[in-house]
């Protein structure tokens, strides 16, 4: 890391986030947004309820108490992002590239704005071919359709997922 990166990381690690907000460090920028809403929380709970505790740790970043608050990508099997009304570009593009670059085996984007889930798998970092890191496999499903998640050995039911009212 450079000195500038170290300063940003230090600021992020020591940031006191106001009540009702959350902060993320994305590509060297601190992004502060409103905390999760009901649609987000219901969706996350529906997903967590389907992941067996015996085999997987079901963590939310808010649940973690880790030095530096950063989770190494090498310990993650899957990341789930629930899109908010303002996070679509970050979740569908920026984080997709970041998670592929980190080698995270699966990335599930739950998009209540569009009413779809996008499961990305098989990360690839083809910089040799001047391509940005991405996933080779993509499966898009409408809310209500089950999603086979092979890396976890289960199928997620999405009937309880809610979309945002217009």
| Residue pLDDT tens, the chain, 166 long | 555 577 887 888 887 888 877 777 777 778 777 777 899 889 999 998 998 887 666 565 544 334 455 667 788 899 999 999 888 888 999 999 989 998 999 999 999 999 999 999 999 876 665 578 899 999 999 999 999 999 999 999 999 999 987 5
pTM to 2 decimal places? 0.80
Q: Which residues, in sequence order, are bridge partners of residue 116?
A: 111, 142
Same domain, 43 and 24: no
| CA–CA separation, 166 and 158 (whole Å) | 20
Residue 165 lies in a domain: no
Report pLDDT for 157. 97
Q: Are residues 104 and 23 in the same domain?
A: no
CB-CB contact of 78 with 150 (8 Å): no
Q: Residue 84: exposed, middle, or buried by beta-carbon count in 10 A (0-12, 13-18, 19+)? A: buried
- Can you tell me the distance from the alpha carbon of 157 to that of 155, in angstroms, rounded to the nearest whole number? 6
The parent domain of residue 145 ranges over: 37-156
Residues 79 and 134 in one domain: yes
Q: CA 100, CA 135: separation in Å to the nearest integer?
A: 6
- The pLDDT value given to residue 27: 72
Could you give the 3-state DSSP secondary structure of residue 160?
coil
Q: For position 30, what pLDDT does the model report?
A: 80
Residues 65, 87, single domain; the answer is yes
The total number of structural domains that make up the chain: 2
16 and 86 assigned to the same domain: no
Q: Is 161 contained in some domain? A: no
Residues 81 and 6 in one domain: no
């Amino acid at each position: 890391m450079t000195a500038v990166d170290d300063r940003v990381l230090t600021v992020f690690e020591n940031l006191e986030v106001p009540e009702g907000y959350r902060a993320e460090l994305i590509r060297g920028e601190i992004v502060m947004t409103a905390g999760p809403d009901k649609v987000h929380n219901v969706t996350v709970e529906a997903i967590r309820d389907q992941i067996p505790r015996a085999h997987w740790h079901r963590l939310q970043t808010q649940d973690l108490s880790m030095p530096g608050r950063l989770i190494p990508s090498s310990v993650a099997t899957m990341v789930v992002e629930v899109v908010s009304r303002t996070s679509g570009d970050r979740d569908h593009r920026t984080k997709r590239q970041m998670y592929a670059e980190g080698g995270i085996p699966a990335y599930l984007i739950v998009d209540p704005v569009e009413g779809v889930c996008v499961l990305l798998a098989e990360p690839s970092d083809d910089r040799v071919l001047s391509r940005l890191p991405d996933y080779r496999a993509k499966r898009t499903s409408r809310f209500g359709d089950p999603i086979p998640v092979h890396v976890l050995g289960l199928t997620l039911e999405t009937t309880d997922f809610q979309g945002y009212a217009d």
